[in-house]
A and B are shown apart, each in its own frame.
Chain A
Amino acid sequence: LAKTTQPISMDSYEGQEVNITCSHNNIATNDYITWYQQFPSQGPRFIIQGYKTKVTNEVASLFIPADRKSSTLSLPRVSLSDTAVYYCFSGGYNKLIFGAGTRLAVHP
């Protein structure tokens, strides 16, 4: 049975790089890995998606090793507005599963 596991919370300071790692137990061969961001009283919002190696967009990078048993979301130079809950997600051909979420607090 597929399962995703991520840290419950993290703290950081403005301007630092933040890395959040998720483990993907039994991820299906064809399933992609997606990360979402959620602010209070809002629905989750797409950040980045990848299958293998490294993907980068204007807000984040995603690192996925060759065995695809984990993924790492990297947020460069965080600001106070990056304080949110971050979810990893996998599924598609397999069960659609969100991780429990990592609550990131960015301090001045």
Chain B
Amino acid sequence: DAGVIQSPRHEVTEMGQEVTLRCKPISGHDYLFWYRQTMMRGLELLIYFNNNVPIDDSGMPEDRFSAKMPNASFSTLKIQPSEPRDSAVYFCASSLGLAGVTETQYFGPGTRLLVL
């Protein structure tokens, strides 16, 4: 298995532009997670899905952030409009069952976002 796939690996954009991050989870995994990592705040859970349905989006910073999972093999995280404080590494992860309850998360390589 190729593992969790994220694209792009790096993204540089200007403030106000729309940014779309993509994720392909491991085949057969029912859970998909989006995290943001910064030096100041560490790893923060933004949202997670179970069988394509959003379960907990309480970590989404504000209305500028949205996430979708149209099918079991694809998810997007969109920021519109982007701001410099959104600069971070965004990780996607997937798990076979609910992470933390016997199942582990498998992380993608991350997307490094820089908003100028």
Which A residues fall within an 8 A CB radius of B? Answer: 30-32, 34, 41-46, 49, 87, 89-101
User: With the chains together, A48 CA to B20 CA distance in Å?
Assistant: 33
Indicate if the CB atoms of A98 and B42 lie closer than 8 Å. Answer: yes
Indicate if the CB atoms of B107 and A31 lie closer than 8 Å. Answer: no
Known: A43-B107, A96-B33. A30 touches B101 (CB 8 A): yes
User: With the chains together, A44 CA to B42 CA distance in Å?
Assistant: 12
CB-CB < 8 A to A30: which residues of B?
101
User: With the chains together, A30 CA to B93 CA distance in Å?
Assistant: 21
User: With the chains together, A64 CA to B21 CA distance in Å?
Assistant: 37
Q: Least Cβ distance of A67 to chain B in Å?
A: 18
Indicate if the CB atoms of A46 and B105 lie closer than 8 Å. Answer: yes
User: With the chains together, A4 CA to B56 CA distance in Å?
Assistant: 19
Which residues 62-116 of B sit at the A interface, judged by CB distance below 8 A? 91, 93, 98-102, 104-110
Which B residues fall within an 8 A CB radius of A? Answer: 4, 33, 42-45, 48, 56, 91, 93, 98-102, 104-110
In this complex, what residue of A is CB-closest to B108? Answer: A43
Indicate if the CB atoms of A91 and B107 lie closer than 8 Å. Answer: no
CB-CB < 8 A to B56: which residues of A?
95-96
16 A-B residue pairs with Cβ-Cβ distance under 8 Å, sorted by A, are A34-B104, A34-B105, A41-B109, A41-B110, A42-B109, A42-B110, A44-B105, A87-B43, A89-B99, A89-B100, A90-B100, A92-B101, A96-B33, A96-B45, A96-B100, A99-B42
